Chains A and B, each alone.
Chain A
Amino acid sequence: MYRAIVLFLLAFPALGHEMTPTYPKFKPSHVEGVFKAELEMFNKRKDVEFYEIGVFDADWNPVQFVSRYKVMRLDYLSHVRFDIYVSAMDVPVAEYVCSVSKLRENSDKKPMIATRICSKFKP
């Protein structure tokens, strides 16, 4: 574990994106019949400012959900904590929650790699 941590720190200066936890859990929210999961995102990509959130089932079909923003603005080297709310009926179906980088066509940084990270809901 110590070695693995040091590897991350000594990697090349790179542009990255991460989302945790890997296995979020649904828990009851303040609204009856609605469950929520808490996630956190970190943006290490200078060339990307926006990330879109999506919830999918096992076949990668979209599942209805609510969050404060579907497309979030995340500045370089900033964290954001966000909640997603799913109705009790969709909780058994919801399998993945993903964040994907949104690339601007007119961006002068000319990104060529779109990153998408998906966490899997714990039953």
Chain B
Amino acid sequence: MMSKVSASKLLALLAAYSAASYSSDYTYGYTPNVAAGGTNWNMSSTVLGVDPVPGLDISGVLYRYTAVKERQDPFVVSIQNEDAINGGFVFREQDDWSGRSGATINKLVPLPYTPIERWGDGSIETTGVGSVVDPAVVYTYRFKPPEPQLSDLPALPAYNALYDDAVINATAETDRDLYEDDEVEKDKDEEEEKDMEKALAALQSGLEMAKGQNALLQAMNPVTMTQYYATTIPGGTYQETVILDGGQIKDNKRAFRSMANDRLHTKMVQEQYQ
């Protein structure tokens, strides 16, 4: 027989097992082109198109631009975001065009989910000879509103019974005047009770008198009742009223034929045993 402790452990295990199978509800999306206004941008809601609140994680950066340069010239383009918490860069992708012709590049850089709090200002920086034309930078993200923390809840005022009016009134000294009035009330109640007892007594005696009178009346006028089931009800015979029109009922010759067949059959069977 299982003890109470092991049963509660099983309950907890069952609850944990079922909780693990629940899925979280994320919303996925992407921002508009954050480089539409230039090669430097901040991560505000105006630029991102979403509020940069806790629960928003960046999952990738998609960028596109045209590098205009001569093949022999050195040219490096960096797409980057500062790390607002740890310093340095939270994201930096470099394209080295040195010794290559210019072209339009369209690239996606996937990232592990990184909270928006780490993402500082973004920029496209170039070093060398060349230029970046028509830049476009888009962030892909997921968002889930965070669970409310205990510290987020508003503080409740502490309850002090010493300042509660109800407690003060209950513990205050009793007013003697009120108490005396109570005694008067008590006397009144007692009187009313006595009056009630008198009334009941009167009623009782009245009933008893009525009983006595009833007995006297019965003695004077005896009335007998005959019981119902002892009474006989006169009856008679219910004659048959159905009359068959059309004469006699004729015998069914088919039945006779069948019976004759049966008789013959029986005779044939019995002949086997002769």
**Chain A interface (Cβ within 8 Å of chain B)?**
2-3, 6-7, 10
Q: How big is the B interface, by class?
A: under 10
B38-64 interface bits toward A, Cβ cutoff 8 Å, 1 = contact, 0 = none: 000000000000000000000010100
What chain A residues lie within 8 Å of B108 (beta carbons)?
Answer: 3, 6-7, 10
Q: Does B103 contact A (CB under 8 A)?
A: no
CA distance A10 to B60 in the complex (A): 11
Closest to A9 in B: B108
A3 to B108, CA, bound (A): 8
Cβ of B109 under 8 Å from chain A: yes
Q: Write out the residue numbers on chain A whose beta carbons fall within 8 Å of the beta carbon of B62.
A: 10
The 5 listed contacts between A and B (C-beta, < 8 Å) are A2-B110, A3-B109, A3-B110, A7-B108, A10-B108
Bound complex: CA of A10 vs CA of B107, how far in Å? 10
Q: Which residues of B contact A (CB under 8 A)?
A: 60, 62, 107-110
Chain A nearest CB, measured from B272 CB (Å):
77
Shortest Cβ gap from A28 to chain B (Å): 44
List, in ascending order, chain A residues with CB within 8 A of B60's CB. Answer: 6
B142 shortest CB reach to chain A, Å: 15
Residues of chain B lying within 8 A (CB to CB) of residue A2:
110
- Ranked nearest first, the 9 interchain pairs of A and B with the lowest CB-CB distance are A6-B110, A10-B108, A7-B108, A6-B108, A3-B110, A2-B110, A3-B109, A3-B108, A10-B62
Chain A's closest residue to B107 (CB) is A7
Cβ-closest chain B residue relative to A12? B106
Q: How far is the CB of B182 from chain A (nearest CB, A)?
A: 88
Neighbouring A residues of B109 by C-beta, 8 Å: 3
Greatest chain A CB density within 10 A among B60, B62, B107, B110 is at B110
Residues in A with CB closer than 8 Å to B110 are 2-3, 6
Residue of B at shortest CB range from A3?
B110
Q: Closest B-chain residue to A5, C-beta based?
A: B110
**Within 8 Å CB of A3, what residues of B?**
108-110
Cα A6 to Cα B59 in complex, Å, equals 12
CB-CB nearest in chain A for B62: A10
- In the assembled complex, the CB of A2 is this many whole angstroms from the nearest CB of chain B, namely 7
Q: How far is the CB of B141 from chain A (nearest CB, A)?
A: 14
User: How distant is the Cα of A79 from the Cα of B106 in the complex, in angstroms?
Assistant: 29
A7–B109 CA distance with the chains assembled, in angstroms: 9
Distance from B170 Cβ to chain A, minimum over Cβ atoms (Å): 73
Q: How far is the CB of B60 from chain A (nearest CB, A)?
A: 8
**Alpha-carbon gap, A45 to B236, bound state (A):** 104
For B60, give the chain A residue with the smallest CB separation: A6
Min CB gap B145→A, angstroms: 26
Nearest A-chain residue to B140, judged by Cβ:
A10
- Min Cβ gap B269→A in Å is 77
> 8 other contacts beyond A3-B110, A10-B62, A10-B108, with CB at 8 A cut-off?
A2-B110, A3-B108, A3-B109, A6-B60, A6-B108, A6-B110, A7-B107, A7-B108
Q: How far is the CA of A6 from the CA of B111 in the complex (A)?
A: 11
Which residues of B have CB within 8 Å of A10? Answer: 62, 108
Whole-angstrom distance between the Cβ of B213 and the nearest chain A Cβ = 108
| Cβ of B31 to closest chain A Cβ, rounded Å | 15
State A94–B62 Cα separation when bound (angstroms).
43
Nearest A residue to B109 via CB reads: A3
